[in-house]
Amino acid sequence: MKKKKRTKKSGKGEFSNSKLFDIILLVFRENPNKKLNYKQVSKILKVTEMGVKIQIIDVIKEMVISGTLTEEQRGSYRLLEKTSTLITNIKNTTSRGSYANIDEENEVFIPKEYAQFSLAGDEVEVLLFPKRKNKQEGEVIKVIKRRKEEFVGIIDDSSSNYFLITDDRKISFDVFIPPKTIKKEYLNKKVVVKIEGWDSKYKNPIGKVIRVIGEINDHNTEINSILYDYGFSPKFHDNVEKEANKIAEEISKEGISRRLDLRKTTTFTIDPKDAKDFDDALSVKKLKNGNWEVGVHIADVSHYVEKGGVIDKEAAERATSVYLVDRVIPMLPEVLSNNICSLKPNVDRLSYSILFEMDESANMLDYTIKKTVIHSDVRFTYQTAQDVIDNKEGKLVTELLLLDKLSKILRDKRQQNGSINFESTEVKFILDKNNNPIDVYFKESLSTNHLIEEFMLLANKTVAKHIGFPKKEAKPFVYRIHDIPDVDRITTLNNIVKKFGHSIDNTSTPKLSSSLNNLLKNVKGKDEQQMVETLTIRSMAKAIYTTDNIGHYGLAFDYYSHFTSPIRRYPDLIVHRLLEQYINGGNSVDKETIEKICRHCSEMEKVSSRAERDSIKYMQVKFLKNKIGSIYDGVISGVTEWGLYIEITENKCEGLVKVSSIKDDHYIFDEKKYALIGYRTKSTYQLGQKVKIKIQRADLERKQMDFILV
């Protein structure tokens, strides 16, 4: 592949033979079919010193001996490397280049000049070079699919040319914007630029401004910049909104006649205080045989969102609602998500329901899946429902006490079967009227949170098993799967926790689940709690959507899907459609079509999580920017070769202590121990260790805080 010539001016002794080997190899790789002598190589590298030319002759001879070059004619050489290609995805990028997986255990490094501007997530064809010094390098010879073609940033107009300086600091290139396309209103603003040319013979991609987001350092501009940078538009296209506004809220008598009418059954919702999109409702009814009918009712989004229509296509592309610190960007237009589909109180609503017959020991004796019409009698928050349970008085006290009792039995059974009990602390910001963070608080998990969780888990599990059992006869469906933990990570975790008197039994899957639960229970309140919880979560696989059911390890379920949140998750909407089709005797759908949707939804779930984390980082920096010089207690939450990430204990805000700022020794990163270890003193900074820090700098633009140890 033709590349821009790499030129180097050199004086005598400027390069070691090893460095010169790499540079000369680059020249031959850029001219794979040419025969070159030392004079031609020197000319390409703009070498004029005779001493360096002699060094080039010596290195070329070394390259012949190593089998890298062959001497075609006396003094004339050609590249002899044997190469192979593979199609893979870029894993991550640095200022030096990109990394991609060869297989589960091996990766290839692609130098920046050979990367064709590829970024994390891009599908590429890579030419693998022969290994040197056990290092595998390669070249991107084709970018098959780019994950991202729009970038957010600020236009640099400090020279005669214009370049987009991207907000994402992991991107190693700036984007050239032709001067003739520049308008005055683009300057000193946050903008979105779409790439129109990726030709690698140029130093930079070429782009065009497609949107002005707003004023630099304005709060809304910064939050919207995060959304655009991750590919989420804060607003829906006019045609989507127009289509949504056509949908009638009123339910026809004919529509009700085709459904199971549950409007007289006691029904209610329990949601966060600030929730507007109510996906789910519960109902309770005493049966004549003495058992209870517990209904899990889910908004019937599939009734309103036509398959293949403009709203459906938009929802499929977004795949999820995005929950940022100060706002929600819904998957569906608000007229649907917050009104027509939302299971609000005191109005009739269409739902897809699972009615469980249960005894008072929480044994499920039977279930029915039906399209229904419901009428929610009460809208509880988690706290108001908790108050009723705690005080044993108030609205629907009998129903709430029953469900609280049943949910606790379900939870105990699940954990006895091997479900892993992760309890993470959720931090919330208190915002003023201008959305500036003025304080933080830790969100407490109430038993009503667990109540809702258990019945949603039961519904999701039931739907998955209804379609997926037995596996040999199962039609293609969307499953939510979670693989067993990585063995090497569990081994590393075990080696670390042994130092604190704990151990992990990995001799079987059930024993591993049980010992992980015991570990998480035993570290509560101890100094090592933070480290152990963090490492345990990191040892887990990532849950994904797929048509290939392997079960859900973390929940200890053989069958699991997502059915309960179709307003905010696209896989749930697909599950509703497939469930109705199969229950009504419809044909199987194409498995690969569904699998493609699953892959997209899994990817968008990760992307939305990153956007959420960025909004949290932005708010953290904003919260602490007026506290420069303040000293806090903290815990080491991450360890890398470039420094320590510290989480402040009182507010959970995170910042970086650069390794260069730790002056008492030269510290080396030990990946297996998750630690920085002093070369001379052997002093150790390890994940989970308590430290004191001083806030040194708060950079809103980079969403980054710098700390120093005190």
CATH architecture for segment(s) 17-79: Orthogonal Bundle (1.10)
Which pLDDT band, with edges at 50, 70 and 90, does 26 fall under? confident
Count CB neighbours of 129 within 10 A. Answer: 22
Cα 137 to Cα 130: distance, rounded to the nearest angstrom: 8
Reply yes or no on whether the pLDDT at 524 is more than 80. Answer: yes
For residue 87, report the phi and psi dihedrals to the nearest 5 degrees.
-105, 125
Cα pseudo-dihedral 190, 192, 197, 200, rounded to 10: 60
Q: What is the pLDDT of residue 88?
A: 95
Interval 633-651: pLDDT, tens: 999 988 999 999 999 988 9
pLDDT tens digits, residue range 560-578?
A: 999 999 999 999 999 999 9
pLDDT in tens, 211-234: 999 999 899 999 999 999 999 999
Each residue's pLDDT tens digit, 403-455: 999 999 999 999 999 999 887 778 889 999 888 899 988 888 899 999 999 99
pLDDT of 12 above 70? no
- Identical topology for domains 17-79 and 625-709: no
SS3 (DSSP) at 218: coil
DSSP for 96-139 reads SEEEEESSSS-EEEEEGGGSTT--TT-EEEEEEPPPBTTB-BEE
Residue 136 has pLDDT above 80, yes or no: yes
Please give the pLDDT value at position 180: 94
Highest mean pLDDT among 35-44, 108-117, 343-352, 488-497: 343-352
pLDDT at 3: 40
Through-space distance between the first and last CA atoms of the chain, rounded to whole angstroms:
53
The answer regarding whether domain 150-216 maps to CATH 1.10.10.10 reads no
pLDDT for 505 beyond 70: yes
The span from the CA of 559 to the CA of 177, in Å, is 51
Grade residue 350 by pLDDT with cuts at 50, 70 and 90. Answer: very high
Rounded CA separation 215/212 (Å): 9
561 neighbors 460 (Cβ within 8 angstroms): yes
Q: Residue 136: phi, psi to the nearest 5?
A: -100, 120
Q: What is the pLDDT of residue 14?
A: 62
Tokens of 10: 């050199």
pTM metric for this prediction: 0.86
CATH number for the domain running over 84-145: 2.40.50.140
Give domain limits for the chain: 17-79, 84-145, 150-216, 239-409, 457-618, 625-709
Q: How large is the average pLDDT for residues 84-88?
A: 89
The share of the chain scoring above pLDDT 90, in percent, equals: 73
239: CB partners within 8 A, 6+ apart: 310
Residue 333: phi, psi to the nearest 5?
-55, 150
Q: What is the pLDDT of residue 4?
A: 40
CATH of domain 625-709: 2.40.50.140
CA distance linking residue 173 with residue 186, whole number of Å: 20
Contacts of the segment 689-693: beta carbons below 8 A, 24+ positions apart: 689/531, 689/635, 689/636, 690/527, 690/633, 690/634, 690/635, 691/633, 691/634, 691/635, 691/636, 691/644, 691/646, 692/631, 692/632, 692/633, 692/634, 693/631, 693/632, 693/634, 693/646, 693/648, 693/655, 693/657
pLDDT for position 159: 84
The pLDDT of residue 8 is 41
| Eight-class DSSP state of 553 | T
Confidence at residue 25, expressed as pLDDT on a 0 to 100 scale:
87
Percent pLDDT > 70 in the chain is 98
Q: Is the pLDDT of residue 204 over 70?
A: yes
- Distance of alpha carbon 505 from alpha carbon 437, whole angstroms: 44
Output DSSP code: residue 320.
Answer: B
pLDDT tops 50 at residue 469: yes
CA–centroid distance for 624 within its chain: 25
Q: Is the pLDDT of residue 10 over 60?
A: no
- Strand 544-546 and strand 690-699: the pairing is unpaired
CB atoms within 10 A of CB 247: 17
By DSSP bridging, strand 364-375 and strand 260-261 are parallel
Q: What is the rounded distance in angstroms from the CA atom of residue 102 to the CA atom of residue 80?
A: 22
Average pLDDT, the chain: 92
Of 520, 487, 492, 522, the C-alpha closest to 506 is 487
Q: Which of 109-113, 241-245, 344-348, 607-611 has the lowest mean pLDDT?
A: 109-113
